[in-house]
């Protein structure tokens, strides 16, 4: 089959995405740019002028970024350890890593509610140990949302990084050591730069997932609003579809901006790709 005909295999997928994703998204964005039949960006101006809306957006960004950083800090050493195991042990650890993904986010969120609640397992343990006198206010705060999101997306980071790390040749690490590099130097100057693609891919997956997640913030956040729960409230409860469309458009734009920033950072950290 000639190469030019191979592109025809993409046609069904392109048509599907165009009809069911691209056209609806463009139609939604179009509705936010009209006010009484004329072109207007008043809805976006009003959004960014409202301190309440901005607080929700900034809270969501902070939660998403912290979740991404924590997942990378925890997932990187775990992935490095798994990548150095023998094939059989590696398969077992990867299975254990992926296993939580088989559990519904609703079930996991309710589990964390039992653990970090005011009368939950964690507070009872801390009080019994004498570390605190009063129960910690963790549930229904950004901290509880971050805990739930880290639990939700950490396996994605680990699996992504393991796929990159297992392709790093041991001969390369031994060569660096033979040239005088310490164990820490090899890790920082060889392993980490080679893992940049995995860090970027894993970071994007976690950030986008955290930024758009609804179930976990809705259950663990309570009255603490993030942008996804705010969108749901306006679309379903308040029936304000225009504001919901504006919020959805802002989510799309912010996601693309963050992805561009992370890709640009990756190019600076690893200019040779």
Full set of structural domains in the chain with CATH: 31-268 (1.10.3720.10)
Average pLDDT value for the chain: 86
- HEC-encoded secondary structure of the chain: CCHHHHHHHHHHHHHHHHHHHHHHHHHHHHHHCEECCEECCHHHHHHHHCHHHHHHHHHHHHHHHHHHHHHHHHHHHHHHHHHCCCHHHHHHHHHHHHHHHHCCHHHHHHHHHHHHCCCCHHHHHHHHCCCCCCCCCCCCCHHHHHHHHHHHHHHHHHHHHHHHHCCCCHHHHHHHHHCCCCHHHHHHHHHHHHCHHHHHHHHHHHHHHHHHCCHHHHHHHCCCCCHHHHHHHHHHHCCCHHHHHHHHHHHHHHHHHHHHHHHHHHHHHCCCC
- What is the pLDDT, as a whole number, of residue 68? 94
- What is the pLDDT, as a whole number, of residue 216? 92
- What is the pLDDT, as a whole number, of residue 272? 58
How confident is the model over 203-209, as a mean pLDDT?
Answer: 91
pLDDT reading at 183 higher than 70 = yes
Confidence of residue 62 (pLDDT cuts 50, 70, 90): very high
């Amino acid at each position: 089959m000639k190469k030019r005909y191979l592109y025809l295999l993409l046609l069904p997928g392109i048509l599907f995405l165009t009809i069911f994703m691209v056209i609806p998204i463009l139609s939604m964005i179009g509705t936010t740019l009209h006010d009484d039949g004329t072109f207007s960006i008043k809805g976006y101006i009003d959004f960014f002028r409202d301190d309440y809306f901005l607080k929700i957006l900034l809270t969501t960004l902070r939660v998403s970024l912290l979740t991404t950083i924590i997942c990378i800090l925890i997932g990187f050493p775990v992935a490095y350890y798994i990548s150095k195991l023998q094939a059989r042990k590696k398969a077992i650890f990867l299975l254990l890593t992926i296993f939580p993904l088989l559990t519904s986010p609703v079930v996991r969120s309710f589990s964390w509610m039992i653990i970090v609640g005011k009368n939950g397992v964690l507070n009872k343990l801390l009080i019994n140990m004498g570390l605190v006198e009063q129960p910690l206010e963790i549930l229904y705060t950004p901290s509880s949302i971050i805990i739930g999101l880290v639990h939700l997306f950490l396996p994605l980071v680990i699996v992504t990084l393991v796929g990159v790390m297992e392709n790093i040749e041991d001969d390369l690490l031994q060569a660096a050591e033979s040239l005088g590099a310490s164990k820490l130097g090899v890790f920082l100057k060889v392993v980490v730069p080679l893992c940049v693609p995995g860090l970027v891919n894993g970071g994007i997956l976690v950030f986008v997932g955290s930024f758009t997640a609804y179930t976990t913030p809705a259950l663990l956040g309570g009255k603490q609003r993030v942008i996804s729960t705010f969108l749901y409230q306006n679309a379903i409860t308040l029936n304000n579809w225009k504001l919901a469309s504006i919020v959805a458009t802002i989510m799309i734009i912010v996601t693309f901006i963050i992805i561009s920033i992370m890709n640009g950072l990756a190019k600076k950290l690893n200019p040779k790709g």
